């Protein structure tokens, strides 16, 4: 079974599907990480939403001794923002943009699509959201950072300059330091993006309080 075959889809609501959320998992995880969260989001009953949880391809991860594992791009050192994997990020941006196009081809306007991700997945969502050519309904970045932040002004498409962004981070995150997450959020705020930043007393994870807040944000974005 290929990684493309491991994509999970869930439907919220029973009316005609007119919204979608594409949610990317973190390094070493899988497409079944976040589907259990959907029923806990408290989503509005008057919205029909397709949730798409793709599976990252297996790739060698340098920081883990070159071990093959699901990853959206390589991590080459302890400082995750150093020696960034441009090739891997471009590949994952193409995967995410392909998923967006699939939803558009199924009748969902790009303005009704949220791209979301946790950790590595959130970095891909950030990267794609500011560079992609499709106007999106929202960008959600959980426990993550903005990759290639120095190149944003040269590479941003500006089509999503008014797109709402939700950035969450744990105050005790040992994997992606909260300082890196906050610096990334501040960078986008300085550029004029409408970003909401919220911290939670947690490590590299999600908690129920945060899940409820995510649901509230999706309800407002849609």
Dihedral, 214, 20, 22, 186 alpha carbons, nearest 10? -50
Which residue has tokens 């991700």?
117
Given a cut of 70, is residue 211 above it in pLDDT? yes
Q: Which residues are catalytic?
A: 119, 173, 204
Structural domains in the chain, sorted by start: 3-221 (3.40.50.1820)
Looking at residue 209, what is its pLDDT? 97
Tell whether the torsion through CA atoms of 190, 208, 222 and 119 is positive or negative.
Answer: positive
Choose between 78 and 176: higher pLDDT: 176
**114-168 residue pLDDT tens:** 999 999 999 999 999 999 999 999 999 999 999 998 888 888 999 999 999 999 9
Which residue has tokens 């594409």?
22
Looking at residue 2, what is its pLDDT? 60
Given a cut of 80, is residue 9 above it in pLDDT? yes
Is the model's pTM score more than 0.85?
yes
What would the mean pLDDT of 9-21 be, rounded to a whole number?
90
**68-121 residue pLDDT tens:** 999 999 998 767 766 689 999 999 999 999 999 999 999 999 999 999 999 999
Whether 114 contacts 221, CB under 8 Å: yes
Which residue has tokens 């105050």?
171
End-to-end Cα, the chain, rounded Å: 34
Looking at residue 1, what is its pLDDT? 53
Nearest to 96 by CA among 139, 59, 43, 34: 139
Whether 173 contacts 181, CB under 8 Å: yes
Looking at residue 219, what is its pLDDT? 97
Q: Which residues contact 193 (CB under 8 A, 6 or more apart)?
A: 130, 160, 161, 163, 165
* Average per-residue pLDDT for the chain: 94
Whether 53 contacts 31, CB under 8 Å: yes
What would the mean pLDDT of 164-175 be, rounded to a whole number?
97
Whether 103 contacts 138, CB under 8 Å: no
- Which tokens belong to 115? 């791209």
Whether 138 contacts 114, CB under 8 Å: yes
Confidence of residue 3 (pLDDT cuts 50, 70, 90): low
């Amino acid at each position: 079974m290929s990684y493309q075959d491991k994509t999970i889809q869930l439907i919220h609501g029973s009316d005609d599907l007119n919204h979608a959320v594409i949610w990317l998992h973190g390094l070493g995880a899988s497409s079944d990480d976040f589907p259990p969260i959907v029923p806990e989001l408290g989503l509005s009953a008057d919205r029909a939403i397709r949730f798409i949880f793709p599976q990252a391809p297996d790739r060698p991860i340098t920081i883990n001794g070159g071990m093959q594992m699901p990853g959206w791009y390589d991590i080459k050192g302890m400082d995750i923002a150093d020696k960034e994997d441009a090739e891997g990020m471009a590949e994952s941006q193409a995967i995410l943009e392909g998923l967006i196009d699939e939803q558009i081809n199924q009748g969902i306007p790009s303005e009704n699509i949220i791209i979301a991700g946790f950790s590595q997945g959130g970095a891909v969502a950030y990267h794609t959201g500011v560079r992609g050519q499709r106007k999106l309904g929202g960008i959600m970045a959980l426990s993550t950072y903005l990759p290639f932040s120095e190149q944003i002004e040269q590479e941003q498409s500006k089509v999503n300059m008014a797109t709402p962004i939700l950035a969450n981070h744990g105050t005790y995150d040992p994997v992606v330091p909260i300082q890196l997450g906050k610096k990334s959020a501040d960078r986008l705020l300085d550029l004029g993006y409408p970003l909401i930043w919220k911290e939670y007393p947690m490590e590299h994870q999600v908690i129920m309080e945060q899940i409820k807040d995510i649901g509230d944000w999706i309800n407002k974005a849609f």
